[in-house]
Amino acid sequence: MNIIISTTKTWNVKNARKFKNKYLNKYNVFIIKEKEEFTYEKVKNINPKYIFFPHWSWIIKKEIYINFNCIVFHMTDLPFGRGGSPLQNLIACGIKNTKISAIKVEAGIDTGLIYLKEDLNLNGTADEIFIKASDIIFNKMIPYIIENAIIPKEQVGEVIEFNRRRPEQSQLKEEFSLDKIYDYVRMLDGEDYPRAFLKFGKYKLEFSRASLKSGKIIADVEIIDEGDKDE
């Protein structure tokens, strides 16, 4: 059986390699990490039974998802939370626990049939949560999908859509509670994410590695001089 895993984040690439080595004698696993590598011609030549997308930032072409079994993993209990920035939107809403939904790729955004769901706790930084999710996806969800003849089902429930968050939404506000400031810092403390920040004159203060103590937050701060950025 041929399987493609298309992913970009470092922890997913690491887990994809572990998965490939673990099932070396059972499946032919091909790992694609770059957008330019993921072409219809390449996929057709491999002829996979499954293409898994643990984290993929680009549109999947119609000629691929209508001809091959493409499965993405979305960090909400679908149909709640369709759309962009699911982790940040969940934490901003005060949600502590969620589901990882394995769904069939189709034309609509996160509208596909559901293969299965697994629980995910939202404690920790963005990176820590993504690493937890990756372990669940590679150690539980992908093996279960491959080894069982799952018939995916329609999504059931009220549709709630999320909007992709913009970098300017990472700014901390005076009215935020201490808990909310902590949540903002940790939910943006991840690979390739814009950090939670404050403006102080010509300086931008970006925060990471936050811990919430009694009546205070301890965090790392990077101070950036933006005074000359437009010159």
Q: What is the pLDDT of residue 231?
A: 46
Residue 103's closest CA among 120, 88, 127, 82? 82
Residue with tokens 């298309």: 6
Phi, psi (degrees; rounded to nearest 5) at 47 = 55, 60
Neighbouring-strand partners of residue 117: 101
Query: 76-126, pLDDT tens digit by residue?
Result: 999 999 998 999 999 999 999 999 999 999 999 999 999 999 999 999 999
Residue with tokens 């300086």: 203
Q: What is the pTM of this model?
A: 0.90
What's CA 173's distance to the chain center, in Å? 26
Residue 50's closest CA among 13, 110, 1? 1
Residue with tokens 């101070």: 223
Query: 31-43, pLDDT tens digit by residue?
Result: 999 888 999 999 9
Instruction: State the amino acid at position 85 in one-letter form.
Output: S
Q: Give the span between the Cα atoms of 62 and 107, in whole angstroms.
A: 7
Domains of the chain as residue ranges with CATH = 2-162 (3.40.50.170), 167-225 (3.10.25.20)
- Residue 166 has, within 13 A of its CA and on its CB side, a CA count of 2
Q: What is the pLDDT of residue 230?
A: 52
- State the average pLDDT over residues 133-160: 95
Classified as helix, coil or strand, 124 is coil
Residue 157's closest CA among 94, 97, 93, 77? 77
